[in-house]
Amino acid sequence: MPLALILSSHVAGSQVGASAQAAALAPFGIDAMVVPTVLFGRHPGWGAPGGAATPIETFEGMLEGIQANGLFGLVDVVITGYFATAAQVQGAARAIDAVRAAPRGRAFAPAPTIVVDPTMGDEGKGLYVPVETAEAIIGELAPRADVVACNAWELHRLTGVDAREPMAAATAARALGKPTLVSSVRRGDEIGAVLAGDGEAWLALHAEADRAPNGTGDLLTALYAAALIEGQTASHGLARAVGGVAETVAAANLWNAPELPIVAMGARIKQTSPSVRIERLA
């Protein structure tokens, strides 16, 4: 049974962050261990979220408990997302190093894959974490990533290269120097993602919905992480991940749901969507 370690936010009343990603991984048969960086009642986009950041002692103590039970050696993928403090980022970096160093708990198991979502800000909002937290993500987590999963605004901050258009996103990803999944890429009235790395770049696009609940970036990262665990090709993994997000957003609009209906989607979240077009950029 594949196992994920997710270091990100827990938001009780919104389908975002680590808990949403754990729900998205379940239909793929992937278990998840969630170590929360914040404990919020709702997404801050709705207003005051309630709750608070997880104290660093609690955050690191949970990681120590997981490690003490021998579970680091069973981790197939680490996913990092939202961090409230630079100290949490530094704790996450140490945990990644420990996961990589742990003896593998299953015979012939591949090395764990580290997927870093450098959650820092977005177009129109700018930076929404403290500057020191963003700097720690850039300095500590991005270099440890096997795959960076970011939005176009975050890739611009990481590289200094504008990444809003498909070819620009591919160029910026190459500047980063490692496989990169870039969301919030636009062409005309379509939106999608670019996946660049290993000498190739792919674009997946679909019509932009009138309304998209919070959490689409978290969902995309989780769905692509599932593709990595399954050993999917880059093009198929990207198409399926973008399709899963597009279909979940469409369902939210159909059902007039204020949040992403991840659990209600069930196995449908695993299917490629006819609404998604994929093309090779390079």
Read off the pTM: 0.96
Tens of pLDDT, residue by residue over 179-188, are 999 999 999 9
| Gap between the terminal Cα atoms of the chain | 35
Assigned token pair, 79 = 């996913």
Tens of pLDDT, residue by residue over 215-255, are 999 999 999 999 999 999 999 999 999 999 999 999 999 99
The answer to whether residue 7 scores a pLDDT higher than 90 is: yes
Phi, psi for 142 (deg, rounded to 5): -55, -45
Tens of pLDDT, residue by residue over 51-97, are 999 999 999 999 999 999 999 999 999 999 999 999 999 999 999 99
Q: Residues near 167 by Cβ (< 8 Å), separated by ≥ 6?
A: 281
The pLDDT of residue 212: 93
The answer to whether residue 204 scores a pLDDT higher than 80 is: yes
The pLDDT of residue 228: 97
Assigned token pair, 107 = 């015979």
For tokens 């198991």, the residue is 109
Measured in residues, the chain has a length of 282
Q: Please state, for a pLDDT cut of 90, what percent of the chain lies above it.
A: 88
